């Protein structure tokens, strides 16, 4: 059971798809803004508060005016159209790998291309999938559905009913927002179920219990959502009854991040759970026993999994039990029933070291699959329990690169999918069988950019406190070290999210193929070396992530790969905050900045949309002792008219209901007021990824790469 973990809060990134990270309480205030009464004192000095009015006429008039300025300048560049057309052809390519998930006899996939702009939810069989051109059966054509219903639908996924596999809970978003409409779909008739399970637009969590009941958390009315904008109440809803009659099975606090119910089907066992997050990185988990839910006694920040009648605990902090201390990042296993009865005779399935961490878990019928990171490169292992002892064997993997391993159907087989990739190796998807040698190549990407004259290198920079910070560099072989190479430095550094070597056709075609150098920095705050690497840059230690990034920039310049006038930086979401901090703290180091979907006003982030959920990462700015350290790096509060900043492009989306677009708007407006060089572009739809279809992705990426190339070459 490894395919769920409060997906509204998960932190994922994809350079190709532009998908990365991340509704408060209201009382009417000036300019149509909703602001809590207690918060008024913190915003009276904010001249651009009116830009927080997401769809207000004044604010959108400002957005459209800025968009016009930015598009006029960037589209006029001779680089813009070739970059955009090249990226669009990549995103629409029929040669992309169609990722599938097995549900019953079918393998499901969601697909977009030039003819299916909104996309197709489709399915096939394994025999067909192995073919170069599989015969796909369309389940839902989102373009047809959107046209028929006159809605701007964006696909957000579907949950297929276990065992019967003939029904699905389909999630549809208007314009790409996190808030979704949920509807029950008949997979046999290929139509929505009349009077089936259905929820109106909200940030909801709904999961099948069985054919005729679901766990549901949604906006049930006043007081039913947390301060972070997620459900705090979980109900059990039976078919044929109104939602108002659903039985409450759990009720969290308003100050919690959110709660949800879920069901794990694991090697013939079915477990029902309630998960409640008091904070982003803490989770109370309850397992159903009869009519009651029983708390799983564990460290607050430990992550729960099950595997073949075992409870697995993934530790995020040190834990001492029965006189023995297990290190942060350790994976423990114990018989589930024994654990619930008080047993603590753990088997240690993984223990971290200084440069080694656990990246992911999956399973097959007879094996547990662990993917580990060794100095930010993947290593995959099989574990099986034989005669009461765990045996371990290694799966082959490249020396530099990333491996992703997923069991296909733990009920039926030991088959698994394995994807192998690095910066210069197009991703390849193989089919393997745990315990048996050999892999069958199923799909592989073509070479979307020329790589024969490129190489990957890995270096360490020394941060301000002496910590070794690894980074990857992709460049031409025999690169002339004269300080004149256009170089793009990318990072994230938050929420324990790891940045791994992976093939990005976008970066390759828009940057590397044009002669640029690409650098990926594995700074603290990420998860590359486990929870300790992340915790080292949380809250009062946040500056360490920024010091790490600075150290990489300085190291690249010291090795004469580039120099400040040719060094650009790029980051989105929490990485957008990183960009804002770099602009304000070390403007002398960089020649251009792209700041996407950013957090920038750290004085008010916890009062905007999902921001309250991130106080576990950054701290609470409403507490003076915590604002004391947050205020030192908050970009919006640290802009100065008398400083010289490098040119910056800020991009976001009106429909981003995770990171409020007001962050980007206000920062751009203040930069302009102070006379700095800033361009701003806001997609009117697109959600936190800032784009809802391939055309928008290509356009937004082309704006960014055109801007960066023009400033750094």
**Strand segments (E) across 65-222:** 101-103, 106-111, 120-124, 137-141, 153-160, 167-174, 180-186, 191-192, 198-202, 205-210, 213-217
Which residue is catalytic, options 156, 607, 676, 688?
688
How far is it, in rounded angstroms, from Cα 341 to Cα 316? 23
Residue 576 sits at the vertex; the CA angle it makes with 571 and 577, to the nearest 5 degrees, is: 135
What Å distances lie between residue 513 and 453, 491, 516, CA to CA?
10, 21, 7
Per the annotation, the verdict on 475 as an active-site residue is no
Tell me 87's DSSP state. H
57-75 vs 80-91: helix crossing angle, rounded to 10: 110
Burial 221-242 (b: 16+ CB within 10 A, else e): eeebbbbbbbbbbbbbbeeeee
Residues facing residue 478 across a β-bridge: none
Closest CA to 463 of 531, 546, 536, 580: 546
How far is it, in rounded angstroms, from Cα 242 to Cα 234? 15
Neighbours of 369 (CB within 10 A): 21
Per the annotation, the verdict on 310 as an active-site residue is no
Closest CA to 653 of 31, 173, 113: 173
Burial 457-491 (b: 16+ CB within 10 A, else e): eebebebeeebebbbbbbbeeebeeebebbbbbbb
Neighbours of 338 (CB within 10 A): 14
How far is it, in rounded angstroms, from Cα 92 to Cα 275? 38
H helices of 16-121, where?
Answer: 40-43, 57-75, 80-91
Closest CA to 275 of 8, 640, 544: 8
How far is it, in rounded angstroms, from Cα 428 to Cα 255? 44
Question: In terms of DSSP bridges, do strands 282-289 and 292-295 run parallel, antiparallel, or are they unpaired?
Answer: antiparallel
Which residue is catalytic, options 573, 597, 634, 692?
573
Burial 577-605 (b: 16+ CB within 10 A, else e): bbbbbbbbbbbebbbbbbbbbbbbbbbbb
Closest CA to 543 of 449, 632, 663, 639: 632
Q: Which residues are catalytic?
A: 573, 688
């Amino acid at each position: 059971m490894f395919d769920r973990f409060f997906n509204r809060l998960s932190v994922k990134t994809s350079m190709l798809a532009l998908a990365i990270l991340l509704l408060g309480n209201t009382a009417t205030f000036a300019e149509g803004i909703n602001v809590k009464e207690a918060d008024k004192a913190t915003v009276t000095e904010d001249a651009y508060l009116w830009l927080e009015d997401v769809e207000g006429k004044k604010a959108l008039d400002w957005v459209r005016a800025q968009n016009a300025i930015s598009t006029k300048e960037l589209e006029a560049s001779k680089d813009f159209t070739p970059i955009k057309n090249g990226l669009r052809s990549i995103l629409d390519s029929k040669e992309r790998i169609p990722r599938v998930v097995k549900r019953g006899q079918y393998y499901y996939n969601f697909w977009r291309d030039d003819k299916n702009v909104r996309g197709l939810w489709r399915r096939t069989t394994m025999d067909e999938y192995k073919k170069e051109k599989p015969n796909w059966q369309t389940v839902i054509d989102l373009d047809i559905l959107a046209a028929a219903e006159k809605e701007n639908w964006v696909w957000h996924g579907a949950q297929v009913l276990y065992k019967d596999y003939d029904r699905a809970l389909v999630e549809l978003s208007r314009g790409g927002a996190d808030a979704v409409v949920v509807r029950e779909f008949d997979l046999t008739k290929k139509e929505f179920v009349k009077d089936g399970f259905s929820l109106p637009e909200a940030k909801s969590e709904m999961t099948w219990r069985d054919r005729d009941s679901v766990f549901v958390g949604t906006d049930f009315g006043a007081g039913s959502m947390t301060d972070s904008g997620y459900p705090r109440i979980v109900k059990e809803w039976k078919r044929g009854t109104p939602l108002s009659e659903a039985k409450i099975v759990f009720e969290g606090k308003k100050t919690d991040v959110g709660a949800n119910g879920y069901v794990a089907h694991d090697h013939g066992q079915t477990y029902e759970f309630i998960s409640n997050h008091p904070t982003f990185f803490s989770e109370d988990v309850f397992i159903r026993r009869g009519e009651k839910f029983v708390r799983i006694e564990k460290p607050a920040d430990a992550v729960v999994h099950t595997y073949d009648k075992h409870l697995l605990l993934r530790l995020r902090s040190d834990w001492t039990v029965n006189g023995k201390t297990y290190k942060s990042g350790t994976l423990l296993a114990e018989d589930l029933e024994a654990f619930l009865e008080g047993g603590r005779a753990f088997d240690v399935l993984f223990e971290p070291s200084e440069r080694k961490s656990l990246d992911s878990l999956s399973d097959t019928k007879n094996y547990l699959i662990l993917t580990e990171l060794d100095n930010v490169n993947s290593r995959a292992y099989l574990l099986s329990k034989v005669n009461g002892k765990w045996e371990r064997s290694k799966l082959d993997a490249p020396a530099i690169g990333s491996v992703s391993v997923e069991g296909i159907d733990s009920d039926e087989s030991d088959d698994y999918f394995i994807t192998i990739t690095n910066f210069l190796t197009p991703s390849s998807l193989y089919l393997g069988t745990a315990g048996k040698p050999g892999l069958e190549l199923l799909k592989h990407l073509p070479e979307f950019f020329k790589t024969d004259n490129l190489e990957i290198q890995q270096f360490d920079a020394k941060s301000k406190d002496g910590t070794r910070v690894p980074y990857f560099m992709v460049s031409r072989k025999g690169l002339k070290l004269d300080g004149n190479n256009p170089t793009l430095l990318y990072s994230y550094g938050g929420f324990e999210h790891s940045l791994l070597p992976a093939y990005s056709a976008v970066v390759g075609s828009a940057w590397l193929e044009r002669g640029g150098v690409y650098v990926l920095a594995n700074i603290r705050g990420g998860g590359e070396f486990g929870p300790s690497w992340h915790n080292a840059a949380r809250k009062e230690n946040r500056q360490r992530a920024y010091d790490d990034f600075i150290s990489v920039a300085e190291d690249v310049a010291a090795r004469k790969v580039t120099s400040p006038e040719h060094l650009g930086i790029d980051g989105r979401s929490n990485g957008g905050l990183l960009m804002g901090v770099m602009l304000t703290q070390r403007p002398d180091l960089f020649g251009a900045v792209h700041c996407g979907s950013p957090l920038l006003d750290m004085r008010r982030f916890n009062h905007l949309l999902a921001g309250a959920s991130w106080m576990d990462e950054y701290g609470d700015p409403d507490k003076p002792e915590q604002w004391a350290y947050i205020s030192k790096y908050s970009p919006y509060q640290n802009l100065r008219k008398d400083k010289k900043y490098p040119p910056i492009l800020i991009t976001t989306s009106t429909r981003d209901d995770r990171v409020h677009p007001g962050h980007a708007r206000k920062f751009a407006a203040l930069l302009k007021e102070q006379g700095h060089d800033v361009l701003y572009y806001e997609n009117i739809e697109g959600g936190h990824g800032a784009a809802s279809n391939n055309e928008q992705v290509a356009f937004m990426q082309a704006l960014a790469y055109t801007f960066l190339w023009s400033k750094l070459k």
